[in-house]
Amino acid sequence: MSWEVVIGLEVHVQINTKTKAFCGCSTEFGAEPNTQTCPVCLGMPGQLPVLNSEAVNKTVLTGLAINAQINLESKFDRKNYFYPDLPKGYQISQFAVPLVEHGYLDIPTAEGEKRIGITRIHMEEDAGKSLHEGLDGVSHIDLNRSGIPLMEIVSEPDMRSADEAVAYLKQLHQLVRFLDVSGADMEKGQFRCDANVSVRRRGEPLGTRAELKNLNSFRFIKQAIEYEANRQIELIEDGGTVVQETRLYDSVRGESRSMRSKEEAHDYRYFPEPDLPPLRLSQQQVDAIRDGMPELPGQLRQRFESEYGLSPYDADVLSQTRELAGWYEALVAAHPSDPKRCANWLANELLGRLKEAGRDIEDSPISARQLAGLLDRIEDGTISGKIAKDVLTDMMADGRDADAIIEAKGLKQVSDTGAIDAMIREVFEANPQQLEQYRAGREKLFGFFVGQVMKASKGQANPALVNQRLKALLDG
Amino acid sequence: MTYATLSELRAQLDSGAQTACSLAEAYLERVQALNAELNAFVHIDADEVLEQAAASDTYRASHGPRPLEGLPIAIKDIFCTQDGPTQCCSNILKGYRAPYDAHVITRLKEAGAVLFGKTNMDEFAMGSSNETSAFGPCRNPWDTTRIPGGSSGGSACAVAAGMAPAALGTDTGGSIRQPAALCGITGLKPTYGRVSRRGIIAFASSLDQAGPMTRSVEDTALLASVMCGHDSADATSVADAPEVDWLGACAARDMKGLKIGRPREYFIDGMDAGVLQAVEEAIETCRELGAEVIDVSLPHTPAAVAAYYVIAPSEASANLSRYDGVRFGHRCEAPEDLLDMYTRTRDEGFGAEVKRRILTGSFALSSGYYDAYYLKAQKVRTLIRQDFLQAFAQVDVLLTPTSPVTAFHIGEKTDDPLTMYLADVFTIALNLAGLPGLSQPCGFADGLPVGLQWIAPAWQEDRILAAASAYEAATDWLSQTPATGGN
């Protein structure tokens, strides 16, 4: 009897607003502890929350992008628990009526596309951070993060393997970055995942689930889910039963341990937040947000294929991020004659070199206009593609334009028939034996002559012209 | 002189008969003489008061007077003020200094008022007698063995005893109106959303509303005109609230043709006979002034106290979670661990009544009990709101006693919280409905003041002010003052 793993994911996505969810404090990452705080996010007596409408708009945009229902009236609730980095002793969240419900995301799997249901997206505020390490028995609290707006995106238990879970997360990660609703930098905690994992024998009802907390990289998520599924299967096969509990994954040891059981679970005593009236939106507001929706990755991919004739592979590569797609389109705009050449040079050359240096397209030392300048010189025959690669190396080193480098290094391609003919004659004179053999029928030697001529020209002869003239002079 | 109304004091300041400094000195002297006995003020700094008064005199000389120029206003200890401590009369906030002024305080300052000390109150406004204060009980100036009412007991006492011409209070279930009634002064709870709650330490957020406590109806209108107004930093402060011509409404002093509803559920067995008699006489006076009195019913009134004592503690249980010893206020000595710090800090910092309400509220919100308590209470709240809407389809205002009893003795009800809660039976329903209500003096029972409560539809404070000022003009309760401390 084979086992089936059932996975549902809860993802906390930090919304990239300039200010916090309920006050005017900056959300900038990395400031000195407690410098981005005010009486509201410190939970001082008498202070009241005022909702950040930008955070609302970005949550609505995300909801629309997953084809969800936008609730024109949603409500905020208080989630009560004591923790030193939760200043008010409750978190403002949405419990009974979230802003977004009933959406989905289509993900690629080995068996083709699969639809993963998204139960809800609700808005809430982040807590601060407790610091224990290296403080000699005392704890410090940094409340810079307190009150930063989050979306909690809750999926249906629709995933059946760790790979599907990772595919879903990657799709979601790409989506929120495309929508520019989150930086989604996992190292900065802007995209955090909890996983609900259970196992069952195929065809049986759902098993008891364990909740895995704190999964902060795609790799750990896969490891943690696989570890947990195996743990549960072994437990059941050994005659035990899975208990409902929250488990913490330790990425260093590669195992999880129990944090708290169902009996120890918090009673959050949710109730309507009396400081915030219900959040009411008009259909017009929602429509306006929909009108501002950027092209999503799938749409871009299709358009790149149909409009520019790109291969599915190149279209996929270039639609990975909004920045990259934008870069590509800027390149095509500056070098409109050959979108495929643009795609090749961007995807294979520039990105390859940036990747080696561990950089993204946003960090490129040259602009799309500059790369287009290089491609123009290939197109008009000034330099060959081979030389162009060397020129690109120089461009990336010092940021100069292609023309300046070609000029300074004298790389201009020789396209003068007379000059090429002269070089060919010199090669013939230097290699009389090969010439005789060729004329006796060893046509393979054609390539040898091309190589010799190119060498004589120091690579600057126009290869097409060399071919053409060689043929004429050899056969003539 | 210290029994003068704000309008009288304003005239004296305008004529030059008084300066802000001379007024401040007179009231400080009065506080000096009486506070040891009455305990109305828990903090007052004479230097700070005189400094503000001097600044006001300077301002007047160069710019002319603002609406409250030079007038001393006592502040309930629940309002955050940048100067002086803000302690909500709780040990957990002992020594706490707020980093900012409440919105209402800013408005008062901008209107030229002199902030005149912090007044006593029930701890976190939880009480009806001012006996739960961490600074000890405040006393009723009409009989110092009795309570002044609560929770704004110190504010009511200060105004009644002439220690301040006016004060700020807050009202969650009657905390302005009930002490006003028991001390023989006037107090208004405006429509929920009319006054910003920012900087007012929260008790029950969906019910709390600040308001004026003064001698006369006109003074209430004057102070309300400064306090009320939209605040974009309070999401429950209503941006497009209908405007009220506060002082204009008082000037009419007319209730001819006014339809007054007399809700039968507010005239019940167990009320003090003296209270009933005083209120009936007041109703008769209104008839004589040309009002039509109509019997109406608010059938869900008997459930109001129960609903209130679920909703208010539920909200309070969350509002008071921030007093955890982590960032401000009291923290226990040498905690062993986090749980020990939380439990001892809160055990030491909160008084018995506050603990009782935190526990009640936490219980009502617990999983498994939420539907039976919190949700049911919210349904009752909706029914109570509908009661009022139906009544106001027939009448313009409602008229009731403010409290079923006059001031009781200190210690009389402290062992019996339920009886204490029932003292709020006539004031609570309109908080649940968000409606405005005003209490004004309407006579005495056995030498103790009786209060008359006016209730209007939301945003119709002007109806109350017109009627209450007409009643005030037709009677001489305003001129009555307690014997405490002489005149």
Among candidates B36, B26, B49, B57, which has minimal Cα distance to B162?
B26
Residue B186 in domain: yes
> Roughly what angle, to the nearest 10 degrees, separates helices A446-456 and A463-475?
130
Contact B440, B173 (CB under 8 A): no
| Element of type H or E holding B252 | helix B246-252
Sign of the alpha-carbon dihedral angle for B229, B232, B237, B238: positive
Cα–Cα distance measured from residue B43 to residue B81, given in angstroms and rounded to the nearest whole number: 12
B220 or A457: which carries more pLDDT confidence? Answer: B220
User: pLDDT (tens digit, 9 = 90+) per residue, B269-319?
Assistant: 888 999 999 999 999 999 999 999 999 999 999 999 999 999 999 999 999
- Is B413 a catalytic site residue? no
Burial class of residue A436 in the structure, from the number of CB atoms within 10 Å of its CB (0-12 exposed, 13-18 middle, 19+ buried): exposed
A contacts of B322 (beta carbons < 8 Å): 43-45, 87-89
A88 touches chain B (CB under 8 A): yes
- pLDDT at position A249: 86
Contact B324, A89 (CB under 8 A): yes
Cα–Cα distance measured from residue B148 to residue B119, given in angstroms and rounded to the nearest whole number: 12
Domain map (residue ranges) of chain A:
3-285, 295-409, 417-475
DSSP E strand stretches across A163-321: 191-201, 210-215, 245-250, 255-261, 271-272, 279-280
User: pLDDT (tens digit, 9 = 90+) per residue, B241-255?
Assistant: 999 999 999 998 889
Residue B73 in domain: yes
Min distance A267 CA to chain B CA atoms (Å): 7
b/e burial code for range B78-107 (CB count within 10 A of at least 16 → b)? bbbbbebbbbbbbbbbeebebebbbbbbbb
Contact B303, B380 (CB under 8 A): yes
Q: What angle do CA B193, B197, B203 make, to 5 degrees?
A: 110
User: pLDDT (tens digit, 9 = 90+) per residue, B24-38?
Assistant: 999 999 999 999 999
- pLDDT at position A442: 86
Cα–Cα distance measured from residue B128 to residue A174, given in angstroms and rounded to the nearest whole number: 58
Cα–Cα distance measured from residue B150 to residue B127, given in angstroms and rounded to the nearest whole number: 6
Contact A88 B80 (CB under 8 A): no
- Residue of chain B with shortest Cα separation from A45: B201
Contact B234 A270 (CB under 8 A): no
| Element of type H or E holding A94 | none
Q: Which of A39, A42, A89 comes nearest B324 by C-beta? A: A89
Q: Which residue has the tokens 């004296």?
A: B12
Q: Which of A39, A141, A274 comes nearest B99 by C-beta? A: A39
Residues of chain A predicted below pLDDT 50 = none
HSE-up of residue A214 (Cα within 13 Å, Cβ side): 12
Contact A47 B342 (CB under 8 A): no
Contact A84 B200 (CB under 8 A): no
- pLDDT at position A415: 75
The letter for the amino acid at A133 is E
The residues near B459 (Cβ < 8 Å, ≥ 6 apart) are B191, B194, B241, B242, B244, B436
Contact A78, A271 (CB under 8 A): yes
A contacts of B318 (beta carbons < 8 Å): 78, 80, 88-90, 269, 271
Contact A191, A173 (CB under 8 A): yes
A19 touches chain B (CB under 8 A): no
Q: Minimum mean pLDDT among B276-280, B427-431, B479-483: which range?
A: B479-483
CATH code for the domain in which residue B226 is found: 3.90.1300.10
A87 touches chain B (CB under 8 A): yes
| SS3 state of residue A466 | helix
Q: In the structure encoding, which two tokens stand for residue B317, read together? A: 């249980």
Q: Which band of pLDDT confidence, cut at 50, 70 and 90, is reported for residue B342?
A: very high
Residue B385 in domain: no
User: pLDDT (tens digit, 9 = 90+) per residue, A390-448?
Assistant: 889 999 988 899 888 888 877 777 777 888 888 898 998 999 998 889 888 888 889 89
- pLDDT at position A232: 94
- pLDDT at position B486: 57
The letter for the amino acid at A332 is V
CB count in 10 Å sphere of residue A255: 14
Q: In the structure encoding, which two tokens stand for residue A45, read together? A: 């007596």
Q: What is the 3-state secondary structure (H, E, C) of B12-74?
A: HHHHCCCCHHHHHHHHHHHHHHHHHHHCCEEECCHHHHHHHHHHHHHHHHHHCCCCCCCCEEE
Q: Which band of pLDDT confidence, cut at 50, 70 and 90, is reported for residue B485?
A: low
Contact B234 A48 (CB under 8 A): yes
Q: In the structure encoding, which two tokens stand for residue B404, read together? A: 């079923």
Among candidates A149, A38, A135, A93, which has minimal Cα distance to B327?
A38
Contact B278, B181 (CB under 8 A): no
| Element of type H or E holding B221 | helix B217-227
Please provide residue B148's backbone torsions phi and psi, each rounded to the nearest 5 degrees. -90, 0
CB count in 10 Å sphere of residue A236: 17
- Residue of chain B with shortest Cα separation from A43: B322
Q: In the structure encoding, which two tokens stand for residue B338, read together? A: 């986090």
pLDDT at B117 over 90: yes
User: pLDDT (tens digit, 9 = 90+) per residue, A251-292?
Assistant: 888 888 888 877 777 899 999 999 999 999 999 999 999 999
- pLDDT at position A266: 82
Q: Minimum mean pLDDT among A138-147, B39-48, B113-122: which range?
A: A138-147
Chain B residues whose C-beta is within 8 A of a chain A C-beta are 80, 86, 88, 93, 96, 98-100, 102, 197-202, 204-206, 232-236, 314-315, 317-318, 320-322, 324, 326-328, 338, 342, 362, 365-367, 370, 374
Residue B142 in domain: yes
Min distance A43 CA to chain B CA atoms (Å): 7
Tell me the sheet residues that pair with A199.
A5
Q: Minimum mean pLDDT among A263-272, B54-63, B412-421, B443-452: which range?
A: B412-421
User: Alpha carbon of B299 to those of A43, B132, B276, B424, B427: distances in Å?
Assistant: 40, 32, 20, 17, 15
A contacts of B326 (beta carbons < 8 Å): 84, 87, 141
User: pLDDT (tens digit, 9 = 90+) per residue, B354-392?
Assistant: 999 999 999 999 989 999 999 999 999 999 999 999 999
- pLDDT at position A293: 93
Q: Which of A46, A80, A88 comes nearest B201 by C-beta? A: A46
Containing structural domain, residue B33? 6-254
Number of domains in chain B: 1
Out of 3.40.50.720, 3.40.50.300, 1.10.10.410, 3.40.50.2000, select the CATH number for domain A417-475.
1.10.10.410
Pairing of strands B259-263, B397-401: parallel
Task: Name the A residues in 336-395 with CB < 8 Å from any B CB.
Answer: none
User: pLDDT (tens digit, 9 = 90+) per residue, B142-175?
Assistant: 999 999 999 999 999 999 999 999 999 999 999 9
What region, left, alpha or beta, does residue B70 occupy, with left being phi > 0 and alpha being psi -120 to 50 degrees? left
- pLDDT at position B253: 85
Min distance B321 CA to chain A CA atoms (Å): 5
